[in-house]
Amino acid sequence: MYKTQAESEDFLRGFLPALDATPDEREVVLCVPFTDLSALSKNLHGSRVQLGAQNIHWEEFGAYTGEISGPMLAEIGVRYVVVGHSERRQYFGETDETVNLRLKAAQRFGLTPILCVGETKQQRDADETESLITNQIKTDLVDVNQENLVIAYEPIWAIGTGDTCECKEANRVIGLIRSLLSNPNVPIQYGGSVKPNLIDEIMAEPEIDGVLVGGASLEPASFARIVNYQ
Ligand SMILES: O=C[C@H](O)COP(=O)(O)O
C-alpha cells in the first residue's frame, strides 16, 4: 500500500530510462495497488515493463464488495498477479485453500500468478521450514497449471526487516520447492529485504531465478540497480 497514482507515475519517469541498459531477456514486472493500474497501463504501453496486481478474487463477478476479479484486471492490461503474500495470509485471513482458488482464477482469466510461500521465524526456529513449505506448495498448487506460474520464496522474518536470508539458504529452500514441482522450469524468486548491495550475490545462486522486491523497489535508482544486477 505505497504510492498514489501521481506518485507511481512520478516513479516511472525516474525508472524507465534506467532500463535502457537492461539485458533484453530480463523480465521486469511492477505489481502495484489497484488504483494505480489503469494509469500505469497507459504509461507502460510500448515499454518492456509488464504490469501486475497484488490480489485477485476467484469469482468472475458477483456480490463480493471490495473485491477485484480477473476480467477487471485483464481488461486494463494486467498480466501478473501476486497471490498469497504473507501479509494477506497474516492480516486478511488468506488460507492455502483461498490461495489455491485465486491461483486457478488468475490462470482462468489469462493472468500469470506469482505465488508467495514462506515460513515465520518461529517455524524456522522450530525446524519446521521444510514441512511448512512442502505443505504450502502441495496444498496451494492442487490443479494449478505449472506452465503459467511464478513462485516467490519469501521467508516472513526477512520481509521488511533488513534481515535478508543467507543466499545459500535461500538457494537451498528454492531447490526444495523446485523438487516438489512437476515442472522444474517454473521461475522461482527470492523475496525478503532484497537490497541493491545484495542483488549480485543473490542472483549468482543457481536456483534463484529472480527477486520479488518490496521496500527497495519504491525508489527508482534503487530498483533500477536491482534490475540491472551484474
Ligand atoms: O512485497 C514485498 C516482499 O514481501 C518483500 O518486501 P521487502 O523487500 O520490503 O522485504
- Average the pLDDT over 122-127 and give the result: 97
- Average the pLDDT over 128-137 and give the result: 98
Which residues have a Cβ under 8 Å from the Cβ of 110 and sit 6 or more positions away?
Answer: 70, 74
What percentage of the chain has pLDDT greater than the value 70?
100
What percentage of the chain has pLDDT greater than the value 90?
99
pTM of the model: 0.98
Ligand 1 pocket mutation, candidates 30, 121, 193, criterion most atoms within 8 A of CB: 193
pLDDT of residue 110: 98
Domain residue limits at 109? 5-228
Task: Write out pLDDT tens, residues 162-215.
Answer: 998 999 999 999 999 999 999 999 999 999 999 999 999 999 999 999 999 999
Check if 214 has its Cβ closer than 6 Å to any atom of ligand 1.
yes
| Crossing angle between the packed helical segments 129-140 and 167-179, to the nearest 10 degrees | 40
pLDDT-derived band of residue 160, with 50, 70 and 90 as boundaries?
A: very high
pLDDT of residue 99: 98
Task: Write out pLDDT tens, residues 70-84.
Answer: 999 999 999 999 999
Which of ligand 1's atoms lies nearest the C-alpha of 86? 4
pLDDT of residue 38: 98
User: Which amino acid, 208?
Assistant: I
Check if 164 has its Cβ closer than 6 Å to any atom of ligand 1.
no
Task: Measure Cα distances from 128 to 35, 85, 106, 161 in Å.
Answer: 38, 19, 30, 21
Write out the DSSP string of 101-134.
Answer: HHHHHHHHTTPEEEEEE---HHHHHTT-HHHHHH
Catalytic one of 57, 94, 119, 154: 154
- Separation between Cα atoms, residue 146 and residue 10, nearest integer Å: 36
CATH label of the domain that carries residue 110 = 3.20.20.70
Average pLDDT, the chain: 97
β-strands 150-153, 28-31: how paired?
Answer: unpaired
pLDDT of residue 63: 98
pLDDT of residue 178: 98
In this structure, which residue's CA is closest to atom 3 in ligand 1?
214
**Does the annotation list 84 as a binding residue?**
no
Which residues have a Cβ under 8 Å from the Cβ of 17 and sit 6 or more positions away?
Answer: none
- Separation between Cα atoms, residue 140 and residue 128, nearest integer Å: 18
- Average the pLDDT over 12-28 and give the result: 96
pLDDT of residue 77: 97
134, 176 Cβ separation under 8 angstroms: yes
Check if 52 has its Cβ closer than 6 Å to any atom of ligand 1.
no
Q: How many domains does the chain have?
A: 1
pLDDT of residue 217: 98
Name beta bridge partners: 64.
none
Which residues have a Cβ under 8 Å from the Cβ of 113 and sit 6 or more positions away?
Answer: 56, 80, 81, 82, 83, 102, 103, 106, 107, 144, 148, 149, 150
Catalytic one of 57, 85, 94, 119: 85
Distance 63 CA to ligand 1 centre (A): 31
Ligand 1 pocket mutation, candidates 91, 198, 212, criterion most atoms within 8 A of CB: 212
**Does the annotation list 8 as a binding residue?**
no
85 classed as catalytic: yes
